[in-house]
Amino acid sequence: MKKEIVVLAKSVKRGQYCIAGREIIRKDSKLYIGNWCRPISNHDEGAISPKEARLVGGGSPKFLDIIELVLDGNAQDPTQPENWLISSESWRKIGTIRKPSIFNVGIEEPNNLWASSNGRTDRITTDEYMQNNYNSSICIIKPDKFIMEFYTEYNSFKGYNQKKRRGKLWYKGLLYDLAITDPEMDNKYFSPFPGENEGIKKIELNSENCLICISLTPEFQGYHYKVIPTVIEND
C-alpha cells in the first residue's frame, strides 16, 4: 500500500528514528491533511534505522517533507493505531509544505492528553488506555504555556551523567512534565548543553507561536510514556 505523509515528528533514540506524520490526500488538484501515520519496523520496538529511512537520492526525511512510502499494512496495535509496517522499498521525497499550514489546519483539541487516574501526567497504563477508548497515540496541540528545562544529572542506577530534556506544558488546566526527544531543541537553544554543575537552563516559548507534538511510547513495564518528539515554532 502506498501512502504520502507530511513529516510532523522525527526524534532520535539510540541512533534510530521515530517518524510520524499526517497522511496527504490529493483531491481536485489540492492537498488535504488526513489521519496520522507512523511508519514502523519489525525490530527495536518499531524504530526506523537510518538505512530504512534513507530517501531515494540520499538523506533522510526532514520536518515538513512530504514523503511517499510503500507500506505492508497496518500493524494492528490497538494502543498505537497509527502504526504501519514499512516494506523494503525506498522512501521518496515528493515535496514540502509551509510551516504556517500546520498552524492553520494541523492543531488538534483533545479533551485531555490521555488522562490517567493514578495522578501521573507523564504516563498511562495499557489497561486504562483501552478502558477509556482512546483511539490515537499522537497529536499536535497548542499549549496554554510551555517551558523547556535542560540539565545534566548523575544517574546513580546507571553510574554516569545523563542529559535531561523536559518540557512543562499547561493544557486545559493540567500541567504535564514530559521528556523532550526533539534533537533540534539542543541545536537551537542549548548548545553547548549545560554541564553537571551548571544547574537547570530554562526557556519559555511564546505559546501563541508554538505547537507541541505529543506521542505515547510503546508499552514499557505496563506503561505508555508521553513524550514530546517535536516542538513547532512559527518563526
Tens-place pLDDT, residues 161-198 = 999 999 999 999 999 999 999 988 888 888 888 988 89
Q: Are residues 168 and 129 in the same domain?
A: yes
How high is the pLDDT of residue 50? 93
Q: Are residues 7 and 96 in the same domain?
A: yes
Contact 3, 84 (CB under 8 A): yes
How high is the pLDDT of residue 91? 96
Number of independent structural domains in the chain: 2
Contact 48, 41 (CB under 8 A): yes
Q: Are residues 119 and 227 in the same domain?
A: yes
How high is the pLDDT of residue 156? 85
How high is the pLDDT of residue 48? 95
The DSSP symbol for 131 reads H
The DSSP symbol for 108 reads -
Of 76, 104, 132, at which residue does a domain stop?
Answer: 104
Q: In the predicted model, what is the mean pLDDT of the chain?
A: 93
Q: Are residues 61 and 115 in the same domain?
A: no
Q: Are residues 32 and 48 in the same domain?
A: yes
Which residues have C-beta within 8 Å of that of residue 30, sequence separation ≥ 6? none
**Beta-sheet strands, E only, within the chain:** 2-13, 16-27, 30-40, 65-74, 83-86, 92-96, 123-125, 138-141, 145-155, 160-171, 174-180, 201-205, 210-216, 223-233
How high is the pLDDT of residue 191? 83
How high is the pLDDT of residue 187? 86
How high is the pLDDT of residue 29? 82
Q: Are residues 205 and 121 in the same domain?
A: yes
Of 69, 104, 139, at which residue does a domain stop?
Answer: 104
Which helix (H) or strand (E) segment is 189 a member of?
helix 183-189
How high is the pLDDT of residue 186? 84
> Coil, strand, or helix at residue 204?
strand
Q: Are residues 67 and 136 in the same domain?
A: no
Tens of pLDDT along 89-143? 999 999 999 998 899 889 999 999 998 888 889 999 999 999 999 999 999 999 9
Which residues have C-beta within 8 Å of that of residue 77, sequence separation ≥ 6? 83
The DSSP symbol for 194 reads P
- Which percentage of the chain shows pLDDT scores above 70? 100
Q: Are residues 113 and 225 in the same domain?
A: yes
Nearest to 89 by CA among 21, 138, 39: 39
pTM of structure: 0.92
Q: Are residues 72 and 155 in the same domain?
A: no
Q: How many CB atoms lie within 10 A of CB 184?
A: 16
Tens of pLDDT along 208-233? 999 999 999 999 999 999 999 999 99
Residues 44, 59: Cα–Cα separation, whole Å: 22
Q: Are residues 25 and 62 in the same domain?
A: yes
Contact 65, 96 (CB under 8 A): yes
Of 104, 138, 172, at which residue does a domain stop?
Answer: 104
Structural domain containing residue 83: 2-104
Q: How many CB atoms lie within 10 A of CB 223?
A: 19
Tens of pLDDT along 2-56? 999 999 999 887 789 999 999 999 888 888 889 999 999 999 989 999 999 999 9
Q: Are residues 164 and 226 in the same domain?
A: yes
pLDDT band at 147 (very low <50, low <70, confident <90, very high): very high
Q: Are residues 219 and 192 in the same domain?
A: yes
